[in-house]
Structure 1
Amino acid sequence: MEWTVNELAQRAGISGRTLRHYHQIDLLTPDRIGSNGYRYYGPHAVARLQRILMLRETGMPLADIAATLAASAGPEAEVAALESHLAQLSRERESLDRRIRAVEHTVHMRREGREPRMDVMLEGFNDRYEQEVVERWGRDAFEASNQWWHEKSLRQQREWKARSEALLARWRELHEAGLATDSPAAQAHAVSHVDWLSEIPGTPTHEGDAARSAEMILGLADQYETHPDFHAAFGSENAAHFAADALRRHVANALR
């Protein structure tokens, strides 16, 4: 039994143009082409079209469908491709959710006659540290910490930022007081600094992973010393160096 383009298109609920396009891109080849130039589709082509339509329903791009079918010797490869596509869709949904929250913030502030906070308006459109966090700790870590931050109210976000600024200001005070980085006061503040980090979901300190916590804190210490943005946050480059060295000593004494 064979069907022409129009017959197959009618039964599949798609257009003849779609079938011809699939043929042009080698996604679905007719079983044969008659002397009259008509395309004829038999059971093999119909079975392949069924799989194409199923994958297309998931939103998978045609190029990915072609690659999946080319590599697929059975359902396992197809399931793996669908799982990968599902993960991508989840990331896109999370990104869209962040953008929705940003726009909702703007609408809320406008209705109250206030100016939206620029950093909140751009969250989800330009998450400054996303790439770095994902590269270091994985996508799950970024999504967990990012969701935790965006679920805070504006008041809670302001309170958190105020605590963060006070934490860094304390490092500057200790440095300006002439204390050593291994002094009881500096090491006590190092503990406070690590406790502050442990409040952030997705971080090794939050999970209680000692080895990865040590790695994270040492990585942060390096950034405190080398990144100009942190020098400004600490109030001076020397204060940033002081904090970095104190945290390294804390790691050496307590986390290893």
Structure 2
Amino acid sequence: MEWTIQELAARAGITSRTLRHYDRVGLLAPSRIGVNGYRYYDFSAVARLQRILLMRRLGMGLSAIAGVLADEVDTCDGLRAHIAALEEERDRIEQQIRSARHTLDALQSGAEPRMDVMLAGFNDDYEEEVVSRWGERAFQESNDWWHGKTLDQQRAWKQDTEDLVAAWVAAAKAGVSPTSEHAQSLAARHVRWLSRIPGTPTAEGDRERSIEMVECLGDMYADDPRFAGMYDDAAGATFVRDALRTYARTRI
């Protein structure tokens, strides 16, 4: 079975122009081109498009997606990863639905919603990463600290975080050197921000593990597309990584 480019675009909820662009950048070529010049796509092309659309939804850029697909040597492995990511997204959404229902039920009954339940599913996106890198205790302490805050306190923390990110982005756009005093003052501010989170090596004053953690976070900012978007682009995330790495190695 094959679909024309118009049929595939309609079923995928995208445009024919998008599919042509994917072909031009080497992301998704048609399975064949007919004598009439029409593009046709078979099941393997559709499976590849599934992966592309999922990664786009996760915020990945086309070059990053191309890198992931280039590293996959087996289509079945790619589909397994696709399913795992969808299942993780499903679990997160289900938790958010339960949290929203709890809030609605409490408000309708005149009761006060539980803060920890209200935000469950919205703030634990990095549990697996934290546990794998720093242990269960680090995650549990930081998670308990977060859910123990009032809503106003959580909003204030998020505003502080957004202000810090905005300062990093402004410095990167200004062409500041990662080793400059300005960049290093931002790195110091970043480390102070980390030290306010219980369970982290910076909060516990563990110098060696703090250096490791700051460098590790810097690498994650540069390598993970989620953070590249947060710091405006890949260049911004790389700037943050380089500044944090310099600070960790010379000033912690």
TM-score by length of 1: 0.54
Could you tell me whether the CA contact under 8 Å between 1:169 and 1:235 is conserved in 2?
no
Deviation larger for 238-247 or 101-110? 101-110
User: Is it true that 1:194 corresponds to 2:187 in the alignment?
Assistant: no
- Which of 219, 233, 238 does residue 236 from structure 1 map onto? 233
Aligned CA distance change for structure 1 residues 184 and 121 (closer, same or farther; 3 Å): same
Deviations 1:168-208 (A, max 9, x none): 11111111111111111110110000000000000000000
The SS at the match of 1:202 is coil
Partner of 1:218: 215
Could you tell me whether the CA contact under 8 Å between 2:102 and 2:117 is conserved in 1?
no
Aligned CA distance change for structure 1 residues 197 and 126 (closer, same or farther; 3 Å): closer
After TM superposition, give the deviation of residue 231 of structure 1 in Å: 1.0
- Which of 172, 177, 182 does residue 179 from structure 2 map onto? 182
- CA distance in 2 between counterparts of 1:206 and 1:228 reads 27
- RMSD over aligned CA atoms reads 3.3
After TM superposition, give the deviation of residue 110 of structure 1 in Å: 5.1
- CA distance in 1 between counterparts of 2:248 and 2:234 reads 21
User: Is it true that 1:150 corresponds to 2:160 in the alignment?
Assistant: no
- CA distance in 1 between counterparts of 2:129 and 2:248 reads 22
- CA distance in 2 between counterparts of 1:105 and 1:130 reads 23
Deviations 1:1-20 (A, max 9, x none): xxxxxxxxxxxxxxxxxxxx
- CA distance in 2 between counterparts of 1:125 and 1:252 reads 34
Aligned CA distance change for structure 1 residues 125 and 172 (closer, same or farther; 3 Å): closer
The SS at the match of 2:176 is coil
Aligned CA distance change for structure 1 residues 223 and 108 (closer, same or farther; 3 Å): same
The SS at the match of 1:131 is helix
Deviations 1:59-95 (A, max 9, x none): xxxxxxxxxxxxxxxxxxxxxxxxxxxxxxxxxxxxx
**Stretches of structure 2 lacking an aligned partner (at least 5 in a row):** 1-94
Q: Residue type of the partner of 2:136?
A: R
The SS at the match of 2:251 is helix
- CA distance in 2 between counterparts of 1:106 and 1:203 reads 34
Could you tell me whether the CA contact under 8 Å between 2:102 and 2:118 is conserved in 1?
no
Aligned sequence identity (%): 46
Count matched residues. Answer: 155
Deviations 1:105-145 (A, max 9, x none): 55445568xxx99x964626983221211111111111100
TM-score by length of 2: 0.55
Which protein has the larger Cα radius of gyration, Structure 1 or Structure 2? 1
Deviations 1:135-162 (A, max 9, x none): 1111111110000000111111111111
| Higher RCO structure, 1 or 2 (CA under 8 Å, sep 6+) | 2
